[in-house]
Amino acid sequence: MSDLPRRAVTRSAKLATLPISFAGRAALGLGKRIGGKSAELVAQEVQQRTAEQIFKVLGELKGGAMKLGQALSIFEAALPQEIAGPYRATLTKLQEAAPPLPVSTVHKVLAEQLGDDWREHFLSFDDRPTAAASIGQVHKAVWHDGREVAVKIQYPGAGKALLGDFSQLARLGKLFGVLLPGLDMKALLGELRERVAEELDYLREAEAQHAFALEFHEDPDFHIPDVVAANEMVLVSEWMEGTPLSRIIAEGTQEERDHAGLLFVRFLFCSPARVGMLHADPHPGNFRVLPNGKLGVLDFGAVNRLPEGYPKAFGQLTRIFNQGDMQTVMAGLRQEGFIREDIDIDPDALRAFLAPYVEPTAVEEFTFSREWLQAQAASVADLRPTNVIRQLNLPPSYVLIHRVHAAGIGVLCQLGTTARFRDEVIRWVPGFADDPDDQPLPIG
Protein backbone atom coordinates (compact mmCIF):
# COMPACT_ATOMS: atom_id res chain seq x y z
CA MET A 1 0.00 0.00 0.00
CA SER A 2 2.86 2.35 -0.77
CA ASP A 3 0.62 4.85 -2.58
CA LEU A 4 -1.55 5.44 0.51
CA PRO A 5 0.38 7.85 2.80
CA ARG A 6 -1.06 6.41 6.01
CA ARG A 7 1.41 7.53 8.69
CA ALA A 8 -0.14 10.44 10.57
CA VAL A 9 3.01 12.56 10.48
CA THR A 10 3.23 12.20 6.68
CA ARG A 11 -0.42 13.03 6.06
CA SER A 12 -0.34 15.97 8.48
CA ALA A 13 2.75 17.35 6.79
CA LYS A 14 1.09 17.26 3.37
CA LEU A 15 -2.06 18.99 4.61
CA ALA A 16 -0.04 21.51 6.58
CA THR A 17 1.45 22.83 3.33
CA LEU A 18 -1.91 24.33 2.43
CA PRO A 19 -2.27 27.24 4.89
CA ILE A 20 1.45 28.03 4.83
CA SER A 21 1.50 28.18 1.04
CA PHE A 22 -1.67 30.24 1.00
CA ALA A 23 -0.20 32.79 3.41
CA GLY A 24 2.74 33.17 1.07
CA ARG A 25 0.51 33.71 -1.94
CA ALA A 26 -1.63 36.24 -0.07
CA ALA A 27 1.51 38.23 0.76
CA LEU A 28 2.55 38.00 -2.89
CA GLY A 29 -0.82 39.40 -3.87
CA LEU A 30 -0.40 42.39 -1.55
CA GLY A 31 2.95 43.15 -3.14
CA LYS A 32 1.44 43.07 -6.61
CA ARG A 33 -1.35 45.46 -5.56
CA ILE A 34 1.24 47.90 -4.27
CA GLY A 35 2.98 47.51 -7.61
CA GLY A 36 -0.11 48.71 -9.44
CA LYS A 37 -2.05 45.55 -10.49
CA SER A 38 -5.81 45.81 -10.15
CA ALA A 39 -7.36 44.28 -7.05
CA GLU A 40 -9.68 42.08 -9.15
CA LEU A 41 -6.80 40.67 -11.20
CA VAL A 42 -4.71 40.03 -8.09
CA ALA A 43 -7.66 38.31 -6.38
CA GLN A 44 -8.13 36.06 -9.38
CA GLU A 45 -4.44 35.12 -9.40
CA VAL A 46 -4.53 34.31 -5.68
CA GLN A 47 -7.68 32.22 -6.16
CA GLN A 48 -6.12 30.27 -9.01
CA ARG A 49 -2.93 29.54 -7.10
CA THR A 50 -4.90 28.65 -3.97
CA ALA A 51 -7.12 26.26 -5.92
CA GLU A 52 -4.12 24.70 -7.61
CA GLN A 53 -2.39 24.05 -4.27
CA ILE A 54 -5.56 22.70 -2.60
CA PHE A 55 -6.24 20.27 -5.42
CA LYS A 56 -2.62 19.17 -5.64
CA VAL A 57 -2.45 18.24 -1.96
CA LEU A 58 -5.92 16.65 -1.82
CA GLY A 59 -5.01 14.60 -4.87
CA GLU A 60 -1.95 13.17 -3.10
CA LEU A 61 -4.08 11.78 -0.28
CA LYS A 62 -6.78 9.16 -0.15
CA GLY A 63 -9.36 8.83 2.56
CA GLY A 64 -10.99 11.90 4.04
CA ALA A 65 -9.17 14.32 1.76
CA MET A 66 -10.41 12.46 -1.32
CA LYS A 67 -13.96 12.36 0.06
CA LEU A 68 -13.86 16.13 0.43
CA GLY A 69 -12.57 16.47 -3.12
CA GLN A 70 -15.44 14.33 -4.37
CA ALA A 71 -18.01 16.33 -2.40
CA LEU A 72 -16.66 19.54 -3.91
CA SER A 73 -16.82 18.16 -7.45
CA ILE A 74 -19.80 20.35 -8.32
CA PHE A 75 -17.74 23.45 -7.57
CA GLU A 76 -15.06 22.52 -10.10
CA ALA A 77 -17.15 24.37 -12.67
CA ALA A 78 -16.11 27.59 -10.92
CA LEU A 79 -12.46 26.89 -11.70
CA PRO A 80 -10.49 27.32 -14.92
CA GLN A 81 -9.86 24.21 -16.99
CA GLU A 82 -6.11 24.31 -16.39
CA ILE A 83 -6.83 23.80 -12.67
CA ALA A 84 -9.95 21.64 -12.66
CA GLY A 85 -8.81 19.34 -15.47
CA PRO A 86 -5.73 17.93 -13.73
CA TYR A 87 -7.68 17.67 -10.47
CA ARG A 88 -10.42 15.58 -12.08
CA ALA A 89 -7.74 13.35 -13.59
CA THR A 90 -6.17 12.91 -10.15
CA LEU A 91 -9.49 11.94 -8.57
CA THR A 92 -10.14 9.44 -11.35
CA LYS A 93 -6.74 7.88 -10.77
CA LEU A 94 -7.38 7.66 -7.03
CA GLN A 95 -10.67 5.87 -7.60
CA GLU A 96 -9.06 3.17 -9.74
CA ALA A 97 -7.88 -0.11 -8.25
CA ALA A 98 -5.39 0.28 -5.41
CA PRO A 99 -2.43 -2.10 -4.97
CA PRO A 100 -3.66 -5.25 -3.17
CA LEU A 101 -2.69 -6.25 0.35
CA PRO A 102 -0.01 -8.92 0.70
CA VAL A 103 -1.50 -12.39 1.20
CA SER A 104 0.02 -12.62 4.68
CA THR A 105 -1.80 -9.42 5.71
CA VAL A 106 -5.10 -10.71 4.30
CA HIS A 107 -4.76 -13.90 6.35
CA LYS A 108 -3.84 -11.90 9.44
CA VAL A 109 -6.95 -9.72 9.16
CA LEU A 110 -9.16 -12.78 8.65
CA ALA A 111 -7.63 -14.48 11.70
CA GLU A 112 -8.12 -11.37 13.82
CA GLN A 113 -11.72 -10.85 12.69
CA LEU A 114 -12.99 -14.42 12.24
CA GLY A 115 -10.68 -16.38 14.54
CA ASP A 116 -7.65 -18.58 13.98
CA ASP A 117 -9.95 -21.21 12.49
CA TRP A 118 -11.23 -18.79 9.83
CA ARG A 119 -10.58 -21.30 7.03
CA GLU A 120 -13.27 -23.57 8.46
CA HIS A 121 -15.88 -21.05 7.29
CA PHE A 122 -14.84 -21.62 3.67
CA LEU A 123 -14.56 -24.60 1.35
CA SER A 124 -12.11 -22.49 -0.66
CA PHE A 125 -10.67 -18.96 -0.56
CA ASP A 126 -8.93 -17.19 -3.45
CA ASP A 127 -5.95 -15.21 -2.16
CA ARG A 128 -6.01 -13.00 -5.28
CA PRO A 129 -8.40 -10.07 -4.84
CA THR A 130 -11.06 -9.54 -7.50
CA ALA A 131 -11.32 -5.83 -6.68
CA ALA A 132 -9.43 -3.24 -4.60
CA ALA A 133 -10.40 0.28 -3.57
CA SER A 134 -9.38 3.01 -1.13
CA ILE A 135 -10.36 1.31 2.14
CA GLY A 136 -10.69 -2.41 1.34
CA GLN A 137 -10.55 -5.25 -1.17
CA VAL A 138 -12.74 -8.17 -2.24
CA HIS A 139 -11.88 -11.87 -2.56
CA LYS A 140 -13.94 -14.65 -4.12
CA ALA A 141 -14.55 -17.71 -1.96
CA VAL A 142 -16.89 -20.66 -1.42
CA TRP A 143 -18.77 -20.61 1.89
CA HIS A 144 -18.94 -23.78 3.99
CA ASP A 145 -22.47 -24.53 2.68
CA GLY A 146 -21.31 -24.44 -0.96
CA ARG A 147 -22.45 -20.91 -1.87
CA GLU A 148 -20.06 -18.71 -3.86
CA VAL A 149 -19.41 -15.56 -1.84
CA ALA A 150 -17.60 -12.22 -1.99
CA VAL A 151 -15.39 -11.51 1.05
CA LYS A 152 -14.78 -7.81 1.60
CA ILE A 153 -11.79 -7.06 3.85
CA GLN A 154 -10.96 -3.62 5.24
CA TYR A 155 -7.33 -2.48 5.10
CA PRO A 156 -5.69 -2.34 8.54
CA GLY A 157 -5.36 1.29 9.61
CA ALA A 158 -7.70 2.62 6.93
CA GLY A 159 -10.12 4.04 9.48
CA LYS A 160 -7.48 5.94 11.40
CA ALA A 161 -6.10 7.41 8.17
CA LEU A 162 -9.52 8.47 6.91
CA LEU A 163 -10.65 10.15 10.10
CA GLY A 164 -7.23 11.69 10.65
CA ASP A 165 -7.60 13.61 7.39
CA PHE A 166 -10.68 15.37 8.70
CA SER A 167 -8.91 16.62 11.81
CA GLN A 168 -6.48 18.37 9.48
CA LEU A 169 -9.03 19.51 6.91
CA ALA A 170 -11.16 21.14 9.62
CA ARG A 171 -8.43 23.78 9.95
CA LEU A 172 -8.75 24.86 6.34
CA GLY A 173 -12.18 26.51 6.40
CA LYS A 174 -10.83 30.03 5.75
CA LEU A 175 -8.72 28.77 2.90
CA PHE A 176 -11.69 27.26 1.07
CA GLY A 177 -13.62 30.46 1.81
CA VAL A 178 -11.32 32.29 -0.60
CA LEU A 179 -12.57 30.08 -3.43
CA LEU A 180 -16.14 29.42 -2.31
CA PRO A 181 -17.42 32.28 -0.14
CA GLY A 182 -20.98 30.90 -0.06
CA LEU A 183 -19.99 27.49 1.32
CA ASP A 184 -20.30 26.54 5.01
CA MET A 185 -17.17 24.39 5.05
CA LYS A 186 -17.32 23.56 8.78
CA ALA A 187 -20.78 22.00 8.48
CA LEU A 188 -19.82 20.20 5.26
CA LEU A 189 -16.72 18.67 6.83
CA GLY A 190 -18.69 17.58 9.89
CA GLU A 191 -21.26 15.79 7.77
CA LEU A 192 -18.61 14.13 5.58
CA ARG A 193 -16.74 12.90 8.65
CA GLU A 194 -19.88 11.24 10.01
CA ARG A 195 -20.63 9.59 6.66
CA VAL A 196 -17.06 8.32 6.29
CA ALA A 197 -17.18 6.86 9.80
CA GLU A 198 -20.29 4.96 8.71
CA GLU A 199 -18.54 3.62 5.60
CA LEU A 200 -15.81 2.16 7.81
CA ASP A 201 -18.33 0.07 9.80
CA TYR A 202 -18.98 -3.10 7.79
CA LEU A 203 -21.67 -4.21 10.25
CA ARG A 204 -23.63 -1.08 9.46
CA GLU A 205 -23.06 -1.69 5.75
CA ALA A 206 -24.31 -5.27 6.16
CA GLU A 207 -27.52 -4.03 7.76
CA ALA A 208 -28.13 -1.66 4.84
CA GLN A 209 -27.33 -4.29 2.21
CA HIS A 210 -29.64 -6.82 3.87
CA ALA A 211 -32.48 -4.27 3.94
CA PHE A 212 -32.04 -3.65 0.20
CA ALA A 213 -31.84 -7.38 -0.51
CA LEU A 214 -35.10 -8.03 1.34
CA GLU A 215 -36.97 -5.20 -0.39
CA PHE A 216 -35.78 -6.14 -3.89
CA HIS A 217 -36.03 -9.92 -3.48
CA GLU A 218 -37.40 -11.35 -6.75
CA ASP A 219 -37.87 -7.80 -8.08
CA PRO A 220 -38.37 -7.67 -11.89
CA ASP A 221 -35.74 -4.93 -12.32
CA PHE A 222 -33.07 -5.31 -9.62
CA HIS A 223 -30.95 -7.89 -7.81
CA ILE A 224 -29.12 -7.27 -4.53
CA PRO A 225 -26.83 -10.04 -3.22
CA ASP A 226 -27.74 -10.77 0.40
CA VAL A 227 -25.35 -10.77 3.35
CA VAL A 228 -24.02 -14.12 4.59
CA ALA A 229 -21.91 -12.95 7.56
CA ALA A 230 -20.28 -9.75 8.79
CA ASN A 231 -18.40 -7.96 11.52
CA GLU A 232 -16.78 -4.51 11.72
CA MET A 233 -13.99 -5.21 9.19
CA VAL A 234 -15.10 -8.25 7.15
CA LEU A 235 -18.30 -8.59 5.12
CA VAL A 236 -19.29 -11.82 3.37
CA SER A 237 -22.12 -11.63 0.83
CA GLU A 238 -23.51 -13.73 -2.00
CA TRP A 239 -21.44 -13.68 -5.18
CA MET A 240 -23.04 -11.99 -8.19
CA GLU A 241 -22.04 -12.51 -11.82
CA GLY A 242 -22.91 -10.00 -14.50
CA THR A 243 -21.58 -7.56 -17.06
CA PRO A 244 -19.98 -4.54 -15.33
CA LEU A 245 -21.63 -1.24 -16.19
CA SER A 246 -18.21 0.00 -17.24
CA ARG A 247 -18.21 -2.61 -20.03
CA ILE A 248 -21.67 -1.49 -21.15
CA ILE A 249 -20.26 2.04 -21.31
CA ALA A 250 -17.27 0.89 -23.38
CA GLU A 251 -18.85 -1.78 -25.62
CA GLY A 252 -22.64 -1.85 -25.18
CA THR A 253 -25.20 -1.37 -27.93
CA GLN A 254 -27.47 1.66 -27.78
CA GLU A 255 -30.31 -0.59 -26.63
CA GLU A 256 -28.15 -1.94 -23.79
CA ARG A 257 -27.09 1.59 -22.83
CA ASP A 258 -30.67 2.85 -22.77
CA HIS A 259 -31.86 -0.11 -20.72
CA ALA A 260 -29.02 0.13 -18.19
CA GLY A 261 -29.35 3.90 -17.83
CA LEU A 262 -33.09 3.76 -17.21
CA LEU A 263 -32.73 1.05 -14.55
CA PHE A 264 -29.82 2.97 -12.99
CA VAL A 265 -32.01 6.07 -12.57
CA ARG A 266 -35.01 4.03 -11.43
CA PHE A 267 -32.96 2.35 -8.71
CA LEU A 268 -31.59 5.63 -7.37
CA PHE A 269 -35.01 7.31 -7.34
CA CYS A 270 -37.11 4.40 -6.06
CA SER A 271 -34.82 3.24 -3.24
CA PRO A 272 -35.62 6.06 -0.77
CA ALA A 273 -39.34 5.43 -1.25
CA ARG A 274 -39.05 1.64 -0.99
CA VAL A 275 -36.18 1.11 1.47
CA GLY A 276 -35.85 4.49 3.18
CA MET A 277 -32.24 4.66 1.99
CA LEU A 278 -30.39 6.09 -1.01
CA HIS A 279 -27.38 4.21 -2.43
CA ALA A 280 -24.80 6.98 -2.28
CA ASP A 281 -21.86 5.62 -4.29
CA PRO A 282 -23.22 5.24 -7.82
CA HIS A 283 -20.06 4.73 -9.86
CA PRO A 284 -20.04 2.08 -12.62
CA GLY A 285 -17.97 -0.41 -10.59
CA ASN A 286 -20.92 -0.95 -8.24
CA PHE A 287 -23.37 -2.08 -10.93
CA ARG A 288 -23.75 -5.20 -13.06
CA VAL A 289 -26.21 -6.07 -15.81
CA LEU A 290 -27.31 -9.67 -15.21
CA PRO A 291 -28.05 -12.17 -18.01
CA ASN A 292 -31.80 -11.85 -17.26
CA GLY A 293 -31.61 -8.08 -17.84
CA LYS A 294 -31.82 -7.07 -14.19
CA LEU A 295 -29.50 -4.45 -12.73
CA GLY A 296 -27.36 -5.88 -9.93
CA VAL A 297 -26.11 -3.49 -7.26
CA LEU A 298 -23.05 -3.79 -4.98
CA ASP A 299 -21.41 -1.84 -2.13
CA PHE A 300 -23.76 -0.34 0.44
CA GLY A 301 -21.09 1.30 2.60
CA ALA A 302 -22.30 4.76 1.65
CA VAL A 303 -26.06 5.12 2.05
CA ASN A 304 -28.17 8.15 2.86
CA ARG A 305 -30.89 7.23 5.33
CA LEU A 306 -34.08 8.93 4.11
CA PRO A 307 -36.97 7.31 6.04
CA GLU A 308 -39.44 9.77 4.50
CA GLY A 309 -38.02 9.35 1.00
CA TYR A 310 -36.52 12.22 -1.00
CA PRO A 311 -37.00 15.65 0.63
CA LYS A 312 -40.31 16.97 -0.67
CA ALA A 313 -38.77 20.38 -1.31
CA PHE A 314 -36.47 18.74 -3.87
CA GLY A 315 -39.42 17.72 -6.05
CA GLN A 316 -41.36 20.91 -5.42
CA LEU A 317 -38.49 23.22 -6.37
CA THR A 318 -37.78 21.21 -9.50
CA ARG A 319 -41.41 21.51 -10.59
CA ILE A 320 -41.56 25.24 -9.77
CA PHE A 321 -38.33 25.85 -11.70
CA ASN A 322 -39.88 24.19 -14.75
CA GLN A 323 -42.83 26.57 -14.35
CA GLY A 324 -40.45 29.56 -14.47
CA ASP A 325 -41.04 31.03 -10.99
CA MET A 326 -37.44 31.86 -10.01
CA GLN A 327 -38.37 34.02 -7.02
CA THR A 328 -40.10 31.08 -5.33
CA VAL A 329 -37.21 28.82 -6.30
CA MET A 330 -34.69 31.21 -4.72
CA ALA A 331 -36.80 31.54 -1.55
CA GLY A 332 -37.01 27.74 -1.33
CA LEU A 333 -33.26 27.34 -1.83
CA ARG A 334 -32.63 29.82 0.97
CA GLN A 335 -34.95 27.92 3.28
CA GLU A 336 -33.21 24.64 2.47
CA GLY A 337 -29.79 26.22 3.11
CA PHE A 338 -28.41 26.32 -0.45
CA ILE A 339 -28.18 30.13 -0.33
CA ARG A 340 -26.91 31.63 2.91
CA GLU A 341 -28.60 34.73 4.32
CA ASP A 342 -25.63 37.03 3.66
CA ILE A 343 -25.30 36.02 0.00
CA ASP A 344 -27.08 37.78 -2.90
CA ILE A 345 -27.46 35.82 -6.13
CA ASP A 346 -28.58 36.99 -9.56
CA PRO A 347 -31.77 35.08 -10.53
CA ASP A 348 -30.77 34.81 -14.21
CA ALA A 349 -27.34 33.44 -13.30
CA LEU A 350 -28.95 30.93 -10.94
CA ARG A 351 -31.43 29.87 -13.62
CA ALA A 352 -28.59 29.27 -16.09
CA PHE A 353 -26.70 27.21 -13.52
CA LEU A 354 -29.66 25.05 -12.47
CA ALA A 355 -31.08 24.49 -15.96
CA PRO A 356 -28.94 21.45 -16.88
CA TYR A 357 -29.85 19.69 -13.62
CA VAL A 358 -33.56 20.25 -14.20
CA GLU A 359 -33.66 19.91 -18.00
CA PRO A 360 -34.08 16.10 -18.04
CA THR A 361 -37.25 16.48 -15.92
CA ALA A 362 -38.84 19.06 -18.22
CA VAL A 363 -39.24 16.88 -21.32
CA GLU A 364 -40.86 13.52 -21.98
CA GLU A 365 -37.61 11.92 -23.20
CA PHE A 366 -34.03 13.05 -22.75
CA THR A 367 -30.60 12.04 -24.08
CA PHE A 368 -27.56 12.37 -21.85
CA SER A 369 -24.21 12.82 -23.59
CA ARG A 370 -20.64 13.83 -22.81
CA GLU A 371 -21.02 16.80 -25.17
CA TRP A 372 -24.11 18.02 -23.31
CA LEU A 373 -22.30 17.77 -19.97
CA GLN A 374 -19.21 19.57 -21.28
CA ALA A 375 -21.38 22.39 -22.60
CA GLN A 376 -23.06 22.80 -19.21
CA ALA A 377 -19.73 22.87 -17.37
CA ALA A 378 -18.27 25.40 -19.80
CA SER A 379 -21.21 27.77 -19.27
CA VAL A 380 -20.18 28.49 -15.66
CA ALA A 381 -16.40 27.97 -15.80
CA ASP A 382 -14.91 31.20 -14.53
CA LEU A 383 -13.55 32.65 -11.28
CA ARG A 384 -15.37 35.98 -11.21
CA PRO A 385 -16.92 36.82 -7.83
CA THR A 386 -20.34 36.89 -9.52
CA ASN A 387 -20.07 33.25 -10.63
CA VAL A 388 -23.15 31.75 -9.00
CA ILE A 389 -21.52 28.43 -8.23
CA ARG A 390 -19.07 30.16 -5.87
CA GLN A 391 -21.99 31.73 -3.98
CA LEU A 392 -23.91 28.52 -3.30
CA ASN A 393 -23.77 26.39 -0.19
CA LEU A 394 -24.07 22.60 0.14
CA PRO A 395 -26.30 21.90 3.17
CA PRO A 396 -25.11 18.90 5.22
CA SER A 397 -28.41 17.06 4.72
CA TYR A 398 -27.87 17.18 0.94
CA VAL A 399 -24.21 16.06 0.88
CA LEU A 400 -24.95 12.49 -0.18
CA ILE A 401 -27.89 13.46 -2.41
CA HIS A 402 -25.51 15.78 -4.22
CA ARG A 403 -22.91 13.03 -4.52
CA VAL A 404 -25.50 10.75 -6.10
CA HIS A 405 -26.80 13.32 -8.57
CA ALA A 406 -23.39 14.59 -9.65
CA ALA A 407 -21.96 11.09 -10.09
CA GLY A 408 -25.21 9.77 -11.58
CA ILE A 409 -25.30 12.44 -14.29
CA GLY A 410 -21.69 11.58 -15.14
CA VAL A 411 -22.54 7.88 -15.52
CA LEU A 412 -25.59 8.64 -17.68
CA CYS A 413 -23.49 10.86 -19.93
CA GLN A 414 -20.91 8.10 -20.29
CA LEU A 415 -23.70 5.70 -21.25
CA GLY A 416 -25.30 8.18 -23.65
CA THR A 417 -28.70 6.97 -22.47
CA THR A 418 -31.96 8.09 -24.05
CA ALA A 419 -35.00 7.36 -21.89
CA ARG A 420 -38.15 8.73 -20.23
CA PHE A 421 -36.46 9.98 -17.07
CA ARG A 422 -39.30 12.41 -16.26
CA ASP A 423 -41.61 9.44 -15.68
CA GLU A 424 -39.28 8.14 -12.96
CA VAL A 425 -39.23 11.53 -11.22
CA ILE A 426 -43.04 11.75 -11.35
CA ARG A 427 -43.36 8.27 -9.90
CA TRP A 428 -40.76 8.39 -7.13
CA VAL A 429 -39.90 11.98 -6.11
CA PRO A 430 -42.42 13.57 -3.70
CA GLY A 431 -43.62 17.04 -4.61
CA PHE A 432 -42.73 16.94 -8.30
CA ALA A 433 -46.17 15.95 -9.57
CA ASP A 434 -48.20 17.74 -6.89
CA ASP A 435 -50.61 20.51 -7.79
CA PRO A 436 -48.97 23.72 -6.51
CA ASP A 437 -52.37 25.06 -5.48
CA ASP A 438 -53.03 22.00 -3.31
CA GLN A 439 -49.48 21.56 -1.99
CA PRO A 440 -47.93 25.02 -1.49
CA LEU A 441 -44.20 25.19 -0.85
CA PRO A 442 -43.72 25.97 2.87
CA ILE A 443 -41.53 29.05 2.51
CA GLY A 444 -41.02 31.07 5.65
Report how far residue 11's alpha carbon sits from residue 61's, in angstroms, rounded to the nearest whole number: 7
Q: Which residues of 5-35 are buried (b: 16+ CB within 10 A; e: fewer)?
A: bbeeeebeebbeebeebbeebeeebeebeee
Question: Sign of the CA dihedral 76, 77, 81, 82?
Answer: negative
Question: Could you tell me if residue 189 is inside a domain?
Answer: yes
Report how far residue 90's alpha carbon sits from residue 17's, in angstroms, rounded to the nearest whole number: 18
Task: Say which range, 131-145, 151-165, 176-190, 351-365, has the weakest mean pLDDT.
Answer: 176-190
Confidence of residue 180 (pLDDT cuts 50, 70, 90): low
Question: What residues contact 390, with CB distance under 8 A and at least 6 apart?
Answer: 75, 78, 179, 180, 181, 182, 383
Residues 215 and 176 in one domain: no
**Given 166, 198, 230, which residue is the final one in a domain?**
198
Helix (H) or strand (E) holding 426: helix 421-428
Question: Could you tell me if residue 339 is inside a domain?
Answer: yes
Residues 316 and 189 in one domain: no
Q: Please report the pLDDT score of residue 169 as a whole number.
A: 65
Task: Say which range, 25-29, 77-81, 100-104, has the weakest mean pLDDT.
Answer: 25-29
Contact indicator for 327, 289 with CB cutoff of 8 Å: no
Residues 64 and 25 in one domain: yes
Residues 87 and 206 in one domain: no
pLDDT surpasses 60 at 79: no
Task: Say which range, 185-194, 222-231, 279-288, 339-348, has the weakest mean pLDDT.
Answer: 185-194
pLDDT surpasses 60 at 298: yes
Question: Could you tell me if residue 378 is inside a domain?
Answer: yes
Question: Could you tell me if residue 177 is inside a domain?
Answer: yes
Residues 194 and 214 in one domain: no
Comparing CA positions, the residue from 138, 131, 280, 275 lying closest to residue 198 is 280
Question: Could you tell me if residue 35 is inside a domain?
Answer: yes
Q: Please report the pLDDT score of residue 19 as a whole number.
A: 44
**Given 198, 223, 254, which residue is the final one in a domain?**
198
Domain of residue 47 covers: 8-96+158-198
Question: Could you tell me if residue 152 is inside a domain?
Answer: no
Residues 369 and 428 in one domain: yes
**Given 149, 173, 198, which residue is the final one in a domain?**
198
Task: Say which range, 164-168, 278-282, 348-352, has the weakest mean pLDDT.
Answer: 164-168
Residues 182 and 250 in one domain: no
Question: Could you tell me if residue 123 is inside a domain?
Answer: no
Residues 51 and 193 in one domain: yes
Report the DSSP beta bridge partners of residue 419. Answer: 366
Contact indicator for 308, 423 with CB cutoff of 8 Å: no
In three-state secondary structure terms, 287 is strand
Residues 307 and 383 in one domain: yes
Residues 348 and 444 in one domain: yes
Question: Could you tell me if residue 376 is inside a domain?
Answer: yes
User: Count of domains in the chain?
Assistant: 2
Q: Please report the pLDDT score of residue 406 as a whole number.
A: 79
Q: Which residues of 199-216 are buried (b: 16+ CB within 10 A; e: fewer)?
A: bbbbebbbebbbbbbebb
Residues 252 and 381 in one domain: yes
The helix, strand and coil proportions of the chain, stated in percent and rounded to the nearest 5, come to: 60, 10, 30
pTM of the predicted model as reported, rounded to 2 decimal places: 0.76
Residues 219 and 277 in one domain: yes
